[in-house]
C-alpha cells in the first residue's frame, strides 16, 4: 500500500507515521528528515537546503522529488510506503503520480490531517528534539523523564531552528499557499480521507487503523 499523509506542519503526521510503520511494516519516507540529513552531510547542496528550511520556505521541487523517487525505487519500498511531508505542491503531486506509474504502482489512499492552527502552533513551539537519535518530545504533552534530557541518549534536547515562532508562522503560511490545494487535487481523484489532527495521537491512530481496515488496505487481523 502506498499512502500520503497530508496536513499542516504540527498536524502530527510524523507521529502517526511512526505508529503506522510499527503496526504494518511499511517504509516511512519523511522528506523533512531526509532534508535534515542532507543538511548534516554539508556541502553546497546541504547549505542551500538549510537556507530554505530555516526560513520555513519550501526546498525546490526538483531537489525534493529526486530524493523521494530515488528512495522509492529501492527494493525495501516495494511493499509500500508512507509519504510524510511529500508532496507539498501541485508539481510534486504530479511528479509522484508519474513516478508511481512508471514503476507500475499507484497511490492507494491519502490521509488528510485536519488540524487547527492553534493546536499546530502549540505543538511546534513546545517541540524539543534529541539531536542524537531524532526522538521528538513536547514540553507538556510528551515530556522527557528528566527535564530537557533525552530518555534514551542522556543528552540535551534542542529546539529545531524552524520551530522558532517566526518560522512556524511562515511554515503555516506556506502550507496555506502551496500545499492546501492538494486537498482538492486528491479529493477529485477520490483518494482523500479526512481525519481529526487535533485529537491525541493514540486516539487518532485507532481511528486510522479502523479506516484502513474498512477500506481493505490492510488485513483485518482478528487475533488482536
Residues near ligand ADP (CB under 6 A) are 9-10, 31-32, 35, 52-53, 56-59, 64, 85-86, 88, 92, 162, 171
Nearer to ligand ADP, 13 or 150 (CB): 13
Which cell numbers hold the place of 139?
514540553
Q: Applying CB under 5 A, which residues contact Zn ion?
A: 130, 132-133, 150, 152-153
- Binds 133: which of ligand ADP, Zn ion, none (CB < 5-8 Å by kind): Zn ion
> 122 CB contacts (<8 Å, ≥6 apart)?
10
Which cell numbers hold the place of 14?
510524523
Pick the closest to residue 199 from 15, 6, 4 (CA basis): 15
Nearer to ligand ADP, 180 or 218 (CB): 180
Closest approach, Cβ 210 to ligand ADP, in A, equals 25
- Binds 3: which of Zn ion, ligand ADP, none (CB < 5-8 Å by kind): none
Closest approach, Cβ 206 to ligand ADP, in A, equals 23
Using CA atoms, how far apart are residues 73 and 70, in angstroms rounded to an integer? 5
What are the catalytic residues? 13, 88, 127, 160, 171
Nearer to ligand ADP, 128 or 171 (CB): 171
Which cell numbers hold the place of 78?
516495494
Whether the CB-CB separation of 11 and 21 falls below 8 Å is answered with no
- Binds 56: which of ligand ADP, Zn ion, none (CB < 5-8 Å by kind): ligand ADP
Whether the CB-CB separation of 212 and 109 falls below 8 Å is answered with yes
Strand order in the sheet with 157-158: 136-138, 127-130, 157-158
- Binds 98: which of ligand ADP, Zn ion, none (CB < 5-8 Å by kind): none
Nearer to ligand ADP, 13 or 212 (CB): 13
- Binds 24: which of Zn ion, ligand ADP, none (CB < 5-8 Å by kind): none
Closest approach, Cβ 222 to ligand ADP, in A, equals 35
CA angle, corner 117, sides to 91 and 167, nearest 5?
A: 65
Whether the CB-CB separation of 162 and 56 falls below 8 Å is answered with yes
Closest approach, Cβ 154 to Zn ion, in A, equals 8
Closest approach, Cβ 84 to ligand ADP, in A, equals 7
Using CA atoms, how far apart are residues 32 and 146, in angstroms rounded to an integer? 27
Using CA atoms, how far apart are residues 142 and 182, in angstroms rounded to an integer? 30
Amino acid at each position: 500500500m502506498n499512502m500520503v499523509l497530508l496536513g499542516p506542519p504540527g498536524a502530527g503526521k510524523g507521529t502517526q507515521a511512526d505508529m503506522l510503520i510499527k503496526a504494518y511494516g511499511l517504509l516511512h519516507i519523511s522528506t523533512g528528515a531526509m532534508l535534515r540529513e542532507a543538511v548534516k552531510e554539508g556541502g553546497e547542496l546541504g547549505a542551500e537546503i538549510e537556507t530554505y528550511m530555516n526560513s520555513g520556505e519550501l526546498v525546490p521541487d526538483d531537489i525534493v522529488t529526486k530524493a523521494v523517487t530515488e528512495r522509492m525505487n529501492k527494493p525495501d519500498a516495494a511493499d509500500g510506503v508512507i509519504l510524510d511531508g511529500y508532496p507539498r505542491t501541485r508539481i510534486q503531486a504530479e511528479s509522484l503520480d508519474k513516478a508511481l506509474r512508471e514503476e507500475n504502482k499507484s497511490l492507494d489512499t491519502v490521509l488528510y490531517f485536519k488540524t487547527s492552527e492553534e493546536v499546530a502552533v502549540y505543538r511546534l513551539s513546545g517541540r524539543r528534539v534529541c539531536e542524537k537519535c531524532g526522538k521528538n518530545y513536547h514540553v507538556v504533552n510528551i515530556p522527557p523523564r528528566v527535564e530537557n534530557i533525552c530518555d534514551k541518549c542522556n543528552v540535551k534536547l534542542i529546539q529545531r531552528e524552524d520551530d522558532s515562532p517566526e518560522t512556524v508562522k511562515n511554515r503555516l503560511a506556506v502550507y496555506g499557499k502551496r500545499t492546501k490545494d492538494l486537498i482538492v487535487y486528491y479529493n477529485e481523484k477520490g483518494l482523500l480521507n479526512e481525519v481529526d489532527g487535533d485529537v491525541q495521537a493514540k486516539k487518532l491512530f485507532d481511528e486510522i487503523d479502523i479506516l484502513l481496515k474498512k477500506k481493505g488496505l490492510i488485513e483485518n487481523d482478528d487475533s488482536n
